[in-house]
Amino acid sequence: MGYYESALDWAKLILQGLSPISGAGKHHAPSLLFPMEAVFEAYVEKHLARQLRGDFVLKAQASSQHLVAHEDQRWFRLKPDLLVKHGQSTRLVLDTKWKLLDAAKNNGREKYQLSQADFYQLYAYGHHYLDGTGDIVLIYPRTDAFTDPLPVFDFPKAVGMRLWVLPFCLRERRLKLPTSPLLQSMFVGETSNATQVEAFNAMPA
């Protein structure tokens, strides 16, 4: 019976609706941890696919490109979380980040709490999957401190490429769009200056 003790303790905790918090008690069970960056990515993938228009398709975990070639080998695989494709053409590169942003910290020191490494990563994705021309997107969870898309980021040495930082609402299960004709041609949803369209409200949960 002792072999099943941990499993029984977890079953009791779940069935009784208890919360696994630190503290004294008579039950002992192993920790239950979730990789929230992977959970967020999977959640965005599921619901963002329903937000796409027409013949656009969402592809997860693309890995056809590498950063460098060396002696007939390709090294450092580039794996964006999501691609939007139309037929055989890649139209958009997206990456999810389980991090908190603060839109009020819009200065050169705090930079909305954005990571420079994330921008380097998306810059490489844009060059390899979009040939340096098109839009790339960073998706973060929507919070009270980050409710609307940030102003677009431009690259001085890649004039044809732009980077968007967009909030994904976990409760409403949708990406909030900027006022970008390109993104609005791909996705159904509320933009930063318009109400959510009826077509998206009619989608199944």
Residues 9-32: tens digit of each pLDDT: 778 777 877 666 655 566 565 666
- pLDDT the model gives residue 15: 83
Q: Which letter does DSSP use for residue 147 in this model?
A: -
Query: How many angstroms separate the CA atoms of 202 and 162, rounded?
Result: 31
Residues 34-46: tens digit of each pLDDT: 789 999 999 999 9
Which residue from 93, 96, 121, 118 is spatially nearest to 182, judged by alpha carbons? 93
- pLDDT the model gives residue 50: 93
Task: Point out the least confidently predicted range of 49-53, 62-66, 87-91.
Answer: 62-66
Which residue from 178, 173, 180 is spatially nearest to 192, judged by alpha carbons? 178
Query: Does 170 score more than 90 pLDDT?
Result: yes
Q: What is the DSSP string of 38-99?
A: HHHHHHHHHHHHHHB-TT-EEEES---EEEEEETTEEEEEE--SEEEEETTEEEEEEEE---
For CA atoms 55, 64, 83, 40, give the dihedral sign: positive
State mean pLDDT over 45-58.
93
Tokens of 120: 């380097």
Residues 118-149: tens digit of each pLDDT: 999 999 999 999 999 999 999 999 999 999 99
What residues contact residue 154 under an 8 Å CB cut-off, 6+ apart? 162, 163
Residues 75-118: tens digit of each pLDDT: 888 889 999 999 989 999 999 999 999 999 999 999 999 999 99
Binned at pLDDT 50, 70 and 90, residue 196 comes out as very low
Binned at pLDDT 50, 70 and 90, residue 192 comes out as low
- pLDDT the model gives residue 19: 62
